[in-house]
Structure 1
């Protein structure tokens, strides 16, 4: 099995740009949900705060797992990978129509 190569700076830039766009869309969707008010808005606010605390707490172990001699690109790649899955899950969840 070949070792995983670091992404090029251009690949990392594109992945970061995609993550930023998805995160902006999630913020927009959450804003609409909050403006609607009610129990869904309250639940979303509580969920959002909990996710932020969990994501921050889990980021450091993810970064340190690669050892002290990581390239800047490798660190950036870990950060993008760390946040990408929860952001995508939130986008899917918030985009579904409520029945």
Structure 2
């Protein structure tokens, strides 16, 4: 089976699936850190809360100003890329 063409809804879905898979790893790694408690667990909790609020506020603002584009698939691709960068950075930082 060949790779789906860039710019297709299938490629959008596959990228969303990959981000979701990475998010699952981040959840597991963060859960372990939070369960361990202590100062490190507390710091991770506040980092998680603050980065989610900041990432979603930026995404919302970008969407509402039209800077994600006007085409639904392009908007989806850019939103997934935005979230994906954050998820992959967390996975790398947490050691996954």
Aligned to 1:34: 34
Within the candidate set 65, 68, 72, 2:67 is matched to 65
Structure 1 gap segments, 5+ residues each: 1-5
TM-score by length of 1: 0.83
- Where in structure 2 are there 5+ consecutive unaligned residues? 1-5
Task: Verify the 8 A CA contact 1:62 1:82 in the aligned structure 2.
Answer: no
User: 2:84 is matched with which residue?
Assistant: 84
Q: Aligned pair count? A: 89
Q: Which aligned pairs between 1:39-58 and structure 2 lie closer than 5 A?
A: 39-58=39-58
- For the 8 Å contact 2:68–2:78, the answer to whether it is kept is no
Q: Give the match for residue 8 of structure 2.
A: 8
**Counterpart position of 2:93:** 93
Cα distance in structure 2, aligned partners of 1:60 and 1:31:
27
Please provide the CA RMSD for this pair: 1.5
SS of structure 2 residue aligned to 1:41: helix
After TM superposition, the score normalised by the length of structure 2 is 0.85
